[in-house]
Amino acid sequence: AQKITQTQPGMFVQEKEAVTLDCTYDTSDQSYGLFWYKQPSSGEMIFLIYQGSYDEQNATEGRYSLNFQKARKSANLVISASQLGDSAMYFCAMREGWERDFNKFYFGSGTKLNVKP
Partner 1 sequence: GAVVSQHPSWVICKSGTSVKIECRSLDFQATTMFWYRQFPKQSLMLMATSNEGSKATYEQGVEKDKFLINHASLTLSTLTVTSAHPEDSSFYICSAPRGGVKNIQYFGAGTRLSVL
Which positions touch partner 1 (CB under 8 A)? 33, 35, 37, 42-47, 50, 52, 91, 93, 95, 99-105, 107-110
Residue with smaller CB distance to partner 1, 13 or 59: 59
| Cα–Cα distance, 74 to 69 (Å, whole number) | 5
Q: How many CB atoms lie within 10 A of CB 41?
A: 8
Residue 85 DSSP one-character state: G
Residue with smaller CB distance to partner 1, 68 or 95: 95
Q: How many CB atoms lie within 10 A of CB 68?
A: 19
Smallest distance, Å, CB 16 to partner 1? Answer: 27
Smallest distance, Å, CB 85 to partner 1? Answer: 17
